[in-house]
Amino acid sequence: MTTTEVPLGGSVLAPRSIIWKRLRRLLLGWLALPLSALAALLIGALLILGFGANPVTGYHALLSGAFGGSYALASTAQKAVPLLLVATGICIAVRANVWNIGGEGQIVMGALASTATALALPNLPAFVLLPLVVIAAACGGAIWAGIAGFFKAYFNVNEILSTIMLNLVAVQVMNYLLSGPLVNKSQSFSITGLIPQTKLLSKNAWLPTIMSGTQLNLGVVIAVAVAVAVYFLLWRTGFGFRIRAVGLSRDAAAYAGMPVKRTVMNAMVLSGACCGVAGAVLVFGSISHRMVTDGSLTGFTGNDGFNGIVVALFGGLNPLWSILSAYLFGGLLIGGTSMQAIIGVPTDLVTTIEGLVVIFVVSIDYLRVRFRIQEEAQRLERDKERAPESSGRSLLFKLARARA
Amino acid sequence: MSQFFTYTILTATIASAVQYAAPFLLAALGETLGQRSGVLNLGVDGIMLLGAFSCYYVALETGSDLLGILVGMGVGAVLGLMTAFMSVTLKATQGISGIGVYIFGLGLSDLLFVRFVGTPLPVNPLPAVDIPLLSHIPALGRMFFQQNLLIYLAFLLVPALALVLYHTNYGTRVLAVGENPAAADSLGISVTRTRYSTVMLGCTMAGLAGSTLLLLDGIFQENLTQSAGFIAVALVYFGAWRPAGVMTGSLLYGVVTAVVLQWKSLGIIPTSAADLAATAPAVITILALVALAGRFKQPAALGKPYLRGA
Amino acid sequence: MRTKSMWVRCLVTLASVSVLVTAMPASVTPASATSPTTTLKVALVAPSAVNDLAFTQSMVAALDSLKTSYNLQISISDNEFVVSDAANLIRQYASRGYNLVIAHGSQYGSILQQLAPKFRKVSFAWGTAGSTFNEPNIYAYQANSNEGGYVQGYMAGMLSKSHVIGVIGPIDVGDAQLYCDGFKAGVLAQDPTATVHESFTGSFSDVTLMASAAKAYIADGADVLTGSSQSVVGAIGVAKSDKVAWFGTQWTQASLAPTEVVSSQVYNWKPVLEQILTGIRGGKLGGATYTISLGNTGEKIAFNPSYPLPANVKAQAKKLINEIVDGTLTVAQ
């Protein structure tokens, strides 16, 4: 390193390093997120080419399927609803440092609870039945998550283990109920046994469409309302404060006299409630207006339980920003289905691209943050030096002096 | 019920349980190593799927199961490198990067399957190798000592991993990095290198687990693992990050599954109750852990990327 | 704060992108299909993979074989086991001017029930099922898989030396249930004292569970096995390594275990598709249910030439097939 060649007040290195710094800030600040998603999509384009289809047509189909026109925008919003609800639930849980991987199971239990309610009380007027099924769904999900929360709080059973196991239990309970007690027995058309689905659910419980000609229904309002409510809960109430405190440091919170075990349990219960409501939206906002399964969890939830985790983390564990990340992720999913249908590539290609987007975006995120931290540190140092040169040069200068 | 308690059926059930448990055990042991050094990898299932597919494709094209196994492990190692890069160097949030790898592996494995295989053909399963002497022990011989080589390997890796973790310098470094990376760093242990090595080894074992599962099933199918990778991660917690505990968990899970299947096929469990009966492995696993009451604490640095000076 | 600015930037990018994208038309009506020279746009939505050696593969093969003779443009969306996603897809195909949308899975029925009234110019086909919901633009199709099941069950009864036979189904519904019931009836018709074990894994796709179930049956002494759905490949693998006989259904499975597969009941959806396509060309968009059976070449028992099948067994099977075809023998459903 040619330290002696760096003049004190001169400007030999200044322009280059400043330009480089500004470029880096531009890249990492503004463009990191879109660029990383773009990188993932480029690899996806290569895969599309490998299947003999045209990536340009494909991505055009993806964009127009997700955002092109009012119908597409409505479909994306509708897809985003369960993602947002799950993400809100994850925000609560992870803020308390409880990793709720059981979203899938909680969605299903919420859906089952709400379906059972609608089947049991079909003739209640809509303004009673609809809130009732949503509450039932919340209870279903809350109880299911509460089991894991209870074991975590009072028996120190790791929540990742219990929620994954409870997912496995949930799928069997769903299969049992949908082929047994809840099945539509009057399937006169079917000589081949009863399809595991329920009767057409009471019209009083259908989520009303709020934009005619589309599938956009009241679920959107419910989801956004829940997200806003949880935001206030987490940052404006004592309850939320305790959740966040326990998440940051259990020991400190215990020392401060907070009921740690109860808080952990509450966080899981609330988290499950949100996921349960997602289940209700999936059933009562569906095209078929009934609950039907093919025997697997994903067949009903479409992997929302896991995608919701991704959405929550992309939203910085903040329900309000999760609204946006849910919308974008929903766009990716809906657009992907469009793309598959239009250019005829296998469905798995879309899944692969989704995985790549998650990988790339999550990888770049910390770099961005770390760059910001570095920048801040250097700026502070610069102020301390009270020297007009850039921090890079003053650092160089210091090193030069040290060497000498 | 009495038909279940016959020699043939009992021994066959346990033998089947051991086979069923082996892929879980392999993946869980690998994850244990990674988690002991502080890295949580939720992408195990995706890596198992890609390892299974690679093993399948190579075995199909070359006719050699061994080559398939090696390639499966190699694919696991490559994915391990990628996971380590994301988790250690780029310090991405570990839970979410794992899910990304899972989605990626799920999609890519089937994508390649559809593209390169078309109508699937089976590959040769691994032959059972009877261990001389031991396989002649009544009952126990049939249950444990007439399995294929990969199953033996899975169970041999249990004491091997324990030996490495508790009695080698490498193991000490791993444990140190997982408990207190800052302290380890100040002692001159490279946190980065250690974590890279454990994650890569762990993912290699995940690739091996996928290959084992594939050779047990004899053919590849979309989503062959059916979330086995997640169950393996859960078993790490069950086993309290100790190889022996992980083995106990895998065997427990395998035995309950095999018994339920056997009872279903014998008609002991009627079809109407079959679904609820199938919850048994999961329920018993949770209850077992509750009964053991978590006395063990997780590695203190699990899930937290290490930043020197932070 | 960093999250906020990151998302503000995302919004800006997104808004600019949306502006660049052209709006999609609300709905495209399908071109009139009555002229034989116009291409018929056909879409298939299926719950499993196109190469699943079972349910979906049989339909894809049939569609492909009719492509040129009926002047079809075929689009396929496979692995759509998420019902709500499948609903969106079916709706998309319907609104993009497809003449025929085939919903190849019993779980899709409720979707068609809601969509058919909204897209009267589109023909929907639903299988395996027996009802068109009284909609004029829904066709239904099903497989009398119990017929082939009966024949194969009878053969199994003759072939089994231990008189213990195993049947592994996915879920107790649809053509899987029909087949399993028919098979069981066939075994018991040949040998009323035989032990027939029947169980359902609860999943259409879990290969490992099928393999484990097969092992459980073999442990109990079964020397003949059968099963349905794309997950049977696991059970066939076990049959192959334990040298146990296997009867297949939905597609020919001899390639998976050349010396163990005795025969397969192969689905040939061509007769059904031809009737549907001819109907559409003639202006009729639905309102009929079609069946494949041993009688109309929709189902065929494909004997595996590599399996050493005793001549008397084969002759008996052929006799049974003839009896079912000419109506002398009715297999209960």
* Contact indicator for C263, C248 with CB cutoff of 8 Å: yes
Question: Confidence class of residue A112 from pLDDT cuts 50, 70 and 90?
Answer: very high
What pLDDT, on the 0 to 100 scale, is given for residue C311? Answer: 92
Structure tokens at C15: 């808004």
Mean pLDDT of chain A: 83
Which segment, A116-120, A255-259, B74-78, C77-81, is predicted with the most confidence on average?
A: B74-78
Please tell me the distance from the alpha carbon of residue A300 to that of residue A196, in angstroms, as a whole number: 12
Mean pLDDT of chain B: 89
Please tell me the distance from the alpha carbon of residue B273 to that of residue B278, in angstroms, as a whole number: 9
Q: Do A193 and C76 touch (CB under 8 A)?
A: no
Q: Do B119 and C57 touch (CB under 8 A)?
A: yes
* Contact indicator for C228, C175 with CB cutoff of 8 Å: yes
Backbone angles phi, psi at B227, to 5 degrees: 65, 20
* Contact indicator for C49, B222 with CB cutoff of 8 Å: yes
What pLDDT, on the 0 to 100 scale, is given for residue A122? Answer: 84
Structure tokens at C267: 């689905």
> Per the domain annotation, does A113 fall within a domain?
yes
Q: Indicate which of B24, B44, B86, B104 best probes the interface with A, i.e. most A CBs within 10 Å of its own CB.
A: B104
Strands (E), C15-163: 40-45, 72-77, 100-104, 123-127, 138-143
Whether A194 and A282 share a structural domain = yes
Q: Residues A379-403: pLDDT tens digits?
A: 777 777 755 555 455 555 455 444 4
* Contact indicator for A152, A268 with CB cutoff of 8 Å: yes
What pLDDT, on the 0 to 100 scale, is given for residue A154? Answer: 87
Q: What is the mean pLDDT of residues A239-258?
A: 89
CA-wise closest residue to B26 among B201, B257, B238: B201
Structure tokens at A297: 């969890």
User: How far A231 CA lies from chain C's nearest CA (Å)?
Assistant: 14
Task: List, as one string, the DSSP characters of C38-66.
Answer: SPEEEEEE-SS-TTSSSHHHHHHHHHHHT
Whether A324 and A381 share a structural domain = no
Please tell me the distance from the alpha carbon of residue A168 to that of residue B235, in angstroms, as a whole number: 14
Structure tokens at B240: 């309290």
Please tell me the distance from the alpha carbon of residue A233 to that of residue A40, in angstroms, as a whole number: 36
Q: Indicate which of C220, C226, C232, C264 best probes the interface with B, i.e. most B CBs within 10 Å of its own CB.
A: C220
CA-wise closest residue to A368 among A34, A14, A18: A34
Q: What is the mean pLDDT of residues B83-100?
A: 88
Please tell me the distance from the alpha carbon of residue A243 to that of residue A233, in angstroms, as a whole number: 10
Report strand pairing: C289-292 vs C138-143: parallel
A6 to each of A13, A391, A400, how far by Cα in Å? Answer: 8, 14, 9
Q: Residue A402, class by beta-carbon neighbours within 10 Å (0-12 exposed, 13-18 middle, 19+ buried)?
A: exposed
What pLDDT, on the 0 to 100 scale, is given for residue A393? Answer: 53
Q: Indicate which of C199, C205, C225 best probes the interface with B, i.e. most B CBs within 10 Å of its own CB.
A: C199
The interface predicted TM-score of the complex, written ipTM, equals 0.88
What pLDDT, on the 0 to 100 scale, is given for residue B36? Answer: 94
User: How far B232 CA lies from chain A's nearest CA (Å)?
Assistant: 9
Please tell me the distance from the alpha carbon of residue A321 to that of residue A66, in angstroms, as a whole number: 19
Please tell me the distance from the alpha carbon of residue B79 to that of residue B102, in angstroms, as a whole number: 11
Whether A203 and A88 share a structural domain = yes
Q: What is the mean pLDDT of residues C310-324?
A: 92
Task: List, as one string, the DSSP characters of B75-102.
Answer: HHHHHHHHHHIIIIIS---HHHHHHHHH
Whether A286 and A264 share a structural domain = yes
Partners of residue B13 in chain C, C-beta under 8 Å: 216, 219
Please tell me the distance from the alpha carbon of residue B254 to that of residue B260, in angstroms, as a whole number: 10
User: How far B170 CA lies from chain C's nearest CA (Å)?
Assistant: 36
> Per the domain annotation, does A58 fall within a domain?
no
Q: What is the mean pLDDT of residues C10-35?
A: 58
> How many structural domains comprise chain A?
2
Domain that holds residue A309: 73-343
pTM for this structure?
Answer: 0.86
Please tell me the distance from the alpha carbon of residue C313 to that of residue B266, in angstroms, as a whole number: 28
Q: Residues C208-237: pLDDT tens digits?
A: 889 989 988 998 889 999 999 888 988 998
Please tell me the distance from the alpha carbon of residue B302 to that of residue C181, in angstroms, as a whole number: 53
Whether B71 shows a pLDDT value over 60: the answer reads: yes
Whether A100 and A213 share a structural domain = yes
Q: What is the mean pLDDT of residues A236-240?
A: 92
Please tell me the distance from the alpha carbon of residue A47 to that of residue B215, in angstroms, as a whole number: 28
Whether A102 shows a pLDDT value over 70: the answer reads: yes
Whether A30 shows a pLDDT value over 80: the answer reads: no
Containing C199, the helix (H) or strand (E) segment is strand C195-200
Q: Residues B189-244: pLDDT tens digits?
A: 899 999 999 999 999 999 999 999 999 888 888 889 988 999 999 999 888 899 99
Q: Which of residues 100-159 of C touch B (CB under 8 A)?
A: none
Select from A320, A343, A366 the last residue of a domain: A343
Backbone angles phi, psi at C266, to 5 degrees: -95, 130
Whether A329 and A357 share a structural domain = no
Please tell me the distance from the alpha carbon of residue C240 to that of residue C155, in angstroms, as a whole number: 19
Report yes or no: A33 at the B interface, CB cutoff 8 Å. no
User: How far B195 CA lies from chain C's nearest CA (Å)?
Assistant: 29
Please report, for chain B, the start and end positions of each structural domain, with discontinuous segments joined by +: 7-116+145-292
Considering only residues C227 and C51, tell me which one the structure prediction assigns the higher pLDDT. C227
Considering only residues C92 and A279, tell me which one the structure prediction assigns the higher pLDDT. A279
What pLDDT, on the 0 to 100 scale, is given for residue A163? Answer: 93
Residue written as token pair 């975590």: A152
Which residue in C has a C-alpha nearest to residue B17's C-alpha? Answer: C212
Report yes or no: C79 at the B interface, CB cutoff 8 Å. yes
CATH 2.60.40 fits B7-116+145-292, yes or no: no
% of chain C at pLDDT higher than 70: 89
Which residue in A has a C-alpha nearest to residue B274's C-alpha? Answer: A176
What pLDDT, on the 0 to 100 scale, is given for residue C13? Answer: 57
Question: Confidence class of residue C151 from pLDDT cuts 50, 70 and 90?
Answer: very high
Whether C193 shows a pLDDT value over 90: the answer reads: yes
What pLDDT, on the 0 to 100 scale, is given for residue A404? Answer: 35
Q: Do A351 and B107 touch (CB under 8 A)?
A: yes
Q: What is the mean pLDDT of residues C110-133?
A: 89
Of C11, C84, C115, the CB nearest to A302: C84
> Per the domain annotation, does A63 fall within a domain?
no
Select from A315, A343, A371 the last residue of a domain: A343
Please tell me the distance from the alpha carbon of residue B53 to that of residue B72, in angstroms, as a whole number: 8
Please tell me the distance from the alpha carbon of residue A103 to that of residue A90, in angstroms, as a whole number: 8
Name the residue type at position B232: A
Whether A269 and A365 share a structural domain = no
Select from A294, A311, A343 the last residue of a domain: A343
Considering only residues B301 and C42, tell me which one the structure prediction assigns the higher pLDDT. C42
Which residue in C has a C-alpha nearest to residue A194's C-alpha? Answer: C173
Q: Residues B145-199: pLDDT tens digits?
A: 888 889 999 999 999 999 999 999 999 999 999 999 888 989 988 999 999 999 9
